[in-house]
């Protein structure tokens, strides 16, 4: 026993497979129309993410900034115990900002900051069986993207941006003594240690960076109909950081005649203590891993029903299937590295949006979107218990002055209930529910 072949961070692939890990609410105006912007992005610089070609022809100077605020609710109901645990997520802000400058009537340049891949899930530690897969997970990936849009001719616009990515990964989970090896080939569970015996708290903090390219084109077919699209390339980020382990007291003592052959009264905590000291499998130390932020793209059209009323539709895909393996590499030789092989699926979304200019001051927006999930049925975990989603949006712009426009938007996410897992290796033993209210607010300035 004396050496653990221990299992840690086994739930990571689920996080990375999560469709919800891809965030699309990077602009209040676009949020109001369900993110449909490939052929006709909002005229506030947000084309830098949604469709870089849309920068072309954007006259003058524009500055826009704002944030979406995600109020998520969810639960896991264990189908055996019927115990329901509620998601404990805080209100999560997702800020974004863009600035553009028209160099010439044909060429516009700009820079934007947005976070297309991000996640935070937080569950209560006490009593939640899924804490051994992860009780608090955060991924922040910020893209800072200088971009240029060029009007090639009367019907073609192209654009390209080069994004610097800075990413931060934070994972927290408990470690279950019952899943550890007491002696080679024999787990503590086989000796009677109960499922869900916390004996360590593990955390991983790491950062990384990289570069990606975002490019696209918009074709104007006639005065009413345009088509467009963009593609944001993938980037494999190498993360470097630290893993930290804190012992959690089990307060268990071995009874007489125990199968370990140890004296009656032997504290289990003393038994596992050597694992936490320097050189032990659960001693603190550097850790490295790599995560592929997958490529994504969309194509769509914009059709002017009337001069003041436009209908937009986009198809979007994120190639999660390219995300093949993850290896969590501990510098500590006593800590086994963890190879992970997720089985993600590419995701697909349909976004329908409409925009109605009620007056020179007021513009109204609405939209609906549906997207599939990336997680296969055997990787639905507390880290991001995702499923296919239906989402409904609405928004409005109000011109406060000739140079200032205020934006608001609302989005409701209803995720289909889905069976998922909370115990490593136990399969799906309960049902996750999820829904969220998103509120967007922003300002667009024109100079």
Angstrom distance (rounded) from CA 323 to CA 321: 5
Is residue 195 near another protein by the rule CB under 8 A?
yes
Residues 107 and 127 sit within 8 Å (Cβ to Cβ): no
Is residue 186 near another protein by the rule CB under 8 A?
yes
Is residue 338 near another protein by the rule CB under 8 A?
no
User: Cβ 13 to another protein, closest distance in Å?
Assistant: 19
> Each residue of 235-257: b (16+ CB within 10 Å) or e?
bebebebebbbebbebebebeee
The window from 11-19, 186-194, 212-220, 226-234 that contacts another protein (CB under 8 A) reads 186-194
Task: Work out the number of other CB atoms within 10 angstroms of the CB of residue 360.
Answer: 8
Is residue 170 near another protein by the rule CB under 8 A?
no
Is residue 429 near another protein by the rule CB under 8 A?
yes
Residues written for the chain: 447
The window from 49-57, 110-118, 155-163, 264-272 that contacts another protein (CB under 8 A) reads 264-272
311 or 445: CB nearest another protein: 311
Nearest to 300 by CA among 367, 366, 226, 370: 226
* CA-based R_g, the chain, Å: 25
Binders of another protein: how many residues, by CB under 8 A?
A: 53
Is residue 303 near another protein by the rule CB under 8 A?
yes
Lookup: tokens for 150: 């060029």
User: Cβ 310 to another protein, closest distance in Å?
Assistant: 12
Q: Which of 1, 107, 244, 350 binds another protein (CB under 8 A)?
A: 350
Is residue 268 near another protein by the rule CB under 8 A?
yes
Residue 427: φ, ψ to 5°: 80, -170
Is residue 249 near another protein by the rule CB under 8 A?
no
The window from 65-73, 214-222, 327-335, 426-434 that contacts another protein (CB under 8 A) reads 426-434
124 or 427: CB nearest another protein: 427
334 or 431: CB nearest another protein: 431
Nearest to 300 by CA among 108, 32, 35, 26: 35
In the stretch 95-114, what mask flags binding to another protein with x, by CB under 8 A?
--------------------
64 or 433: CB nearest another protein: 433
Q: Which helix (H) or strand (E) covers residue 16, if one does? A: helix 12-17
Q: Which of 184, 263, 265, 402 binds another protein (CB under 8 A)?
A: 265
Q: Which of 40, 418, 436, 440 binds another protein (CB under 8 A)?
A: 418
Q: Which of 153, 154, 278, 306 binds another protein (CB under 8 A)?
A: 306
Q: Where are the beta strands (DSSP E) in 9-135?
A: 61-78, 84-86, 92-102, 107-122
The window from 77-85, 100-108, 137-145, 335-343 that contacts another protein (CB under 8 A) reads 77-85
Residues 223 and 201 sit within 8 Å (Cβ to Cβ): no
Judged by phi (left if over 0) then psi (alpha if -120 to 50, else beta), residue 73 lies in beta
171 or 268: CB nearest another protein: 268
Is residue 270 near another protein by the rule CB under 8 A?
no
On the CB side of 142, CA atoms within 13 Å amount to: 11
Q: Which of 75, 89, 166, 187 binds another protein (CB under 8 A)?
A: 187
| β-pairing verdict for 92-102 and 61-78 | antiparallel
* DSSP per residue, 152-220: -SSSEEEEEEEEEEEEEEEEEEEEEGGGSEEETTEETGGGTPPTT-EEEEEEEEEEEEEEEEEEEEEEE
User: Cβ 260 to another protein, closest distance in Å?
Assistant: 8
Angstrom distance (rounded) from CA 217 to CA 176: 52
The window from 3-11, 147-155, 250-258, 292-300 that contacts another protein (CB under 8 A) reads 250-258
The contact set with another protein (CB under 8 A) reads 78-82, 129, 178, 186-187, 189-197, 250, 252-260, 264-265, 268, 303, 305-306, 311, 350, 352, 368, 370, 377, 387-388, 390, 416-419, 423, 425-427, 429, 431
């Amino acid at each position: 026993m004396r050496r653990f072949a221990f299992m840690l961070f086994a739930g990571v692939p689920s996080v990375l497979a999560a469709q919800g890990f891809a965030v699309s609410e990077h602009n209040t105006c676009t949020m109001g129309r369900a993110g449909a912007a490939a052929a006709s992005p909002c005229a506030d610089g947000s084309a830098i993410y949604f469709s870089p070609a849309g920068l072309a022809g954007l006259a003058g100077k524009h500055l826009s900034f704002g944030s979406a605020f995600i109020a998520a609710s969810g639960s896991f109901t264990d189908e055996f115990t019927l115990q329901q645990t509620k998601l404990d997520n805080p209100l999560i802000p997702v800020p974004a900002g863009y600035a553009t400058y028209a160099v010439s009537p044909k060429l516009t340049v700009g820079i934007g900051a947005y976070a297309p891949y991000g996640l935070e899930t937080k569950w209560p530690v006490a009593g939640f069986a899924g804490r051994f897969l992860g009780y608090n997970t955060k991924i922040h990936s910020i893209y800072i993207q200088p971009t240029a849009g060029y009007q090639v001719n009367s019907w073609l616009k192209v654009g390209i941006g080069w994004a610097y990515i800075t990413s931060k990964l934070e994972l927290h989970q408990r470690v279950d003594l019952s899943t550890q090896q007491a002696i080679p080939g024999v787990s503590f569970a086989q000796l009677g240690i109960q499922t869900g015996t916390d004996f360590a708290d593990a955390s991983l903090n790491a950062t990384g960076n990289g570069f990606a390219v975002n490019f696209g084109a918009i074709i104007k077919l006639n005065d009413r109909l345009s088509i467009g699209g963009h593609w944001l390339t993938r980037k494999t980020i190498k993360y470097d950081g630290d893993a930290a382990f804190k012992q959690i007291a089990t307060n268990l003592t071995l009874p007489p005649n125990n199968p370990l052959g140890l004296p009656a009264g032997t504290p289990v905590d003393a038994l596992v203590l050597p694992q936490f000291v320097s050189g032990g499998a659960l001693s603190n130390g550097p850790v490295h891993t790599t995560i592929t932020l997958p490529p994504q793209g969309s194509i769509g059209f914009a059709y002017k029903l009337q001069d003041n009323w436009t209908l937009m539709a986009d198809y979007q895909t994120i190639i999660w299937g390219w995300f093949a393996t993850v290896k969590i590499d501990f510098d500590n030789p006593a800590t086994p590295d963890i190879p992970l092989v997720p089985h993600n699926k590419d995701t697909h979304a349909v976004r329908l949006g409409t925009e109605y200019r009620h007056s020179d001051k007021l513009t109204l927006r609405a939209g609906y979107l549906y997207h599939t999930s990336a997680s296969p049925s055997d990787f639905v975990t507390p880290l991001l218990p995702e499923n296919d989603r239906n989402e409904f949006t609405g928004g409005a712009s109000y011109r406060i002055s000739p140079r200032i426009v205020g934006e608001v938007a609302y989005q409701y996410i209803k995720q289909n209930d889905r069976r998922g897992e909370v115990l490593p290796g136990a399969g799906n033993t309960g049902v996750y529910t999820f829904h969220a209210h998103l509120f967007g607010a922003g300002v667009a300035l024109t100079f």
